[in-house]
Amino acid sequence: MKYVLAELGWHYRIRIKSDFWLWRPGKGWSQVRDFHVLRGEALLLQNVWIHKTEYAWCS
């Protein structure tokens, strides 16, 4: 967290569900549950897309 605050200027982080889809360059699509992070740890992912299917906003 210190890195993203000091170096990247972030002031927040997001928490997402384990079935959330991420796309990473060179790795393709994977669900958050595929990342093995211990309780209390955080994972910094950069240059990702955050949705697997097309969707439209409802008005």
Cα–Cα dist 16/1, whole Å: 17
Residue 42, C-beta contacts closer than 8 angstroms, at least 6 positions apart: 1, 13
> Domains of the chain: which residue ranges?
16-59
Amino acid 57: pLDDT: 57
| Residue 54, pLDDT score | 60
The pLDDT value recorded for residue 10 is 75
What would you report as the CA-atom Rg of the chain, rounded to the nearest whole angstrom? 14
pTM of the predicted model over 0.75 = no
Residue 16: what pLDDT? 82
Mean pLDDT per segment of 10 residues, for the chain of length 59 residues? 77 79 90 88 82 61
Please report, for residues 1, 32, 55, the alpha-carbon distance to residue 16 in angstroms, rounded to integers and kept in the order given.
Answer: 17, 8, 18
Q: What is the pLDDT of residue 58?
A: 55
